[in-house]
């Protein structure tokens, strides 16, 4: 780690943070409004009819799922859109020419995406208090789950940004991979309520462990053991990181 170009890393990280903060209304406020609309609708329809965990009403159950869904989508969008835009506009060369290693580029893009995702999640959590009390039973577990999940999707966004040659390619990742896996991971329901086949299929969806891990941090209840969720997501992050670092080091679809 002593060989890192800290000045270059900090500069690229600051550039990526500044990029999404300049349009905070779009990158932070807009996702929160979208999640709140989901919350309002489901509160009106199901609030008094469903109790998923003992003593946990449906609105409280729903909020961690919406928080994690927002974390997932925004972490992916930040790194994927930044790399894709740089490639389309031709300024990716300004990232490749400086003395920055693959690891330093990786850390800067991942760090900025995690920060954006956590900011969105924090704002949504604070807004959630307007609907129902939201004490957190295991804050460290919840924070770890959120960081690991944001890291996974930030790295997935780097991979998508490397592979994408236009915004339509990035949108395909979002629409055909991220969105379906998010909605089929237990955001709006407990997998224990699913038919056996679909409940077992959820065990192979890493997004399920991300959302379930955050719920465990909030309530101390979860559909899978809390430790298992963290292990699965950490393993998924390690796998994605190895792929992304290899692609960056080789300059896949970045260098002519």
Q: What radius of gyration, in Å, describes the C-alpha atoms of the chain?
A: 19
Q: Tell me, what's the pLDDT at 192?
A: 80
Query: What integer pLDDT is reported at residue 1 of this predicted model?
Result: 45
Residue 255 counted as domain residue? no
Task: Specify whether the CB–CB gap between 102 and 249 falls below 8 A.
Answer: yes
Residue 29: inside a domain, yes or no? Answer: yes
Q: Tell whether 28 is covered by a domain.
A: yes
Q: What is the number of structural domains in the chain? A: 1
Is residue 10, in this structure, part of any structural domain at all?
yes
pTM listed for this prediction: 0.93
- Whether 82 is in a domain gets the answer yes
**Terminal-residue alpha carbon distance, the chain:** 29
According to the model, what pLDDT value does residue 48 have?
61
* Burial state string for 231-243 with b = 16 or more CB within 10 A and e = fewer than 16: ebbeebbeebbee
3-state SS class at 15: helix
- Token duo for residue 204: 């192979």
CA distances from 41 to 38, 59, 206 (A): 5, 10, 27
In a domain, 118, yes or no: yes
- Domain presence at residue 1: no
> Could you give the CA distance from residue 249 to residue 256 in angstroms, rounded to a whole number?
14
Give SS3 for 54: coil
Backbone angles phi, psi at 200, to 5 degrees: -70, -35
Enumerate residue ranges in the chain where pLDDT < 70. Answer: 1-2, 46-52, 256
List the alpha helices (DSSP H) in the chain.
Answer: 6-21, 24, 30-46, 58-89, 93-96, 102-128, 139-163, 167-173, 179-183, 196-202, 206-219, 226-250
At 202-246, the pLDDT tens digits run 889 999 999 999 999 999 888 888 899 999 999 999 999 999 999
Domain that holds residue 228: 6-250
């Amino acid at each position: 780690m002593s060989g890192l170009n800290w000045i270059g890393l900090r500069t690229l990280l600051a550039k990526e943070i500044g990029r999404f903060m300049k349009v905070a209304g779009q990158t932070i406020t807009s996702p929160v409004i979208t999640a709140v609309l989901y919350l309002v609708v489901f509160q009106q329809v199901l609030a008094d009819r469903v109790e998923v965990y003992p003593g946990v009403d449906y609105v409280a159950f729903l909020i961690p799922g919406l928080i994690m869904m927002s974390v997932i989508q925004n972490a992916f969008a930040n790194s994927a859109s930044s790399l894709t835009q740089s490639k389309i506009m031709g300024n990716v060369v300004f990232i490749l020419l400086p003395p920055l290693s693959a690891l330093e580029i990786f850390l800067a893009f991942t760090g900025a995406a995690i920060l954006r995702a956590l900011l969105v999640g924090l704002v949504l959590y604070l807004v959630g208090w307007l609907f129902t009390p939201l004490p957190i039973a295991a804050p460290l577990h919840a924070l770890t789950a959120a960081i690991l999940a944001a890291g996974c999707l930030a790295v997935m966004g780097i991979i998508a940004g490397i592979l994408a040659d236009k915004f339509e390619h990035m949108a395909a990742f979002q629409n055909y991979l991220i969105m379906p896996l998010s909605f089929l991971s237990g955001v709006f329901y407990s997998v224990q309520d699913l038919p056996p086949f679909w409940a077992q299929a959820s065990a192979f969806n890493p997004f399920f462990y991300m959302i379930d891990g955050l719920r465990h941090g909030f309530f101390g209840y979860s559909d899978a053991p809390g430790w298992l969720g963290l292990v699965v997501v950490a393993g998924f992050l390690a796998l994605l990181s190895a792929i992304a670092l290899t692609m960056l080091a080789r300059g896949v679809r970045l260098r002519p």
